[in-house]
Chain A
Amino acid sequence: DAGVTQSPTHLIKTRGQQVTLRCSPKSGHDTVSWYQQALGQGPQFIFQYYEEEERQRGNFPDRFSGHQFPNYSSELNVNALLLGDSALYLCASTPDEGFGGYTFGSGTRLTVV
């Protein structure tokens, strides 16, 4: 059973560019959350998607946006990239029924130069 799959694994972008990161949740999971993990820090909540809608959002600017598709997969889009956006971006999935810990993907390492 495949877990959470993220692509690409690494990405280098230039300041001002836009980037799209992709996530396929674990089979049976319908809720997807995105986190940003700066080097040496804990993950920070960006937003969560359920039933193709953003259900809740962390303290991130509108440059960060997302989408969830009918098959529960999700995209994270970041516009007007800043050097400070360089981080590991983690996708995590959960089943909406019940409550428990996330299953995380291995992340996308984004470097902004």
Chain B
Amino acid sequence: QQQVKQSPQSLIVQKGGISIINCAYENTAFDYFPWYQQFPGKGPALLIAIRPDVSEKKEGRFTISFNKSAKQFSLHIMDSQPGDSATYFCAASMSAGHNFNKFYFGSGTKLNVKP
């Protein structure tokens, strides 16, 4: 059973546009939701993360929107740039209990920003 479902699988956006990637989760015990960015040949790098006590978090051009009742969260990349072209993964984890710090990742979204 996939704990975190991510869509779309791939995304093409024009330079300057808004990229939106969506994720949904099942386990209500999850309380930490990071987004990772991965370039070819590299490991994932933490981009931004949110906890369910806030509905939105913004860092520069990157924003996470969180809907606890719908068990969904999304990543918005404003003013998308060709350098943002990468694969993005959402993830979920619990900050307590026997599954502490065990991350469940989505299947990834390959973003291509056209110049």
Contacts and interface: CB of A to CB of B under 8 A. Distances in A.
Interface of A: 4, 31, 33, 35, 40-45, 48, 56, 58, 90, 92, 94, 99-107
B101 interface: yes
B104 interface: yes
A105 B43 contact: yes
Contacts of B45: 104
Contacts of B34: 101
Interface residues of B, number: 26
A56 B95 contact: no
A45 B104 contact: yes
Contacts, number: 61
B43 A42 contact: no
A56 B105 contact: no
A56 B42 contact: no
Contacts of A42: 4, 6, 89, 91, 105-108
B105 A43 contact: yes
A104 B42 CA distance: 9
Nearest to A103: B46
Contacts of A105: 43
Given A41-B107, A90-B43, A48 B102 contact: yes
B98 A43 contact: no
A33 B43 contact: no
Given A42-B106, A94-B101, A99 B43 contact: no
A107 B104 CA distance: 18
Interface string B34-72: 101000011111100100000000000000000000000
B43 A48 contact: no
A45 B103 CA distance: 7
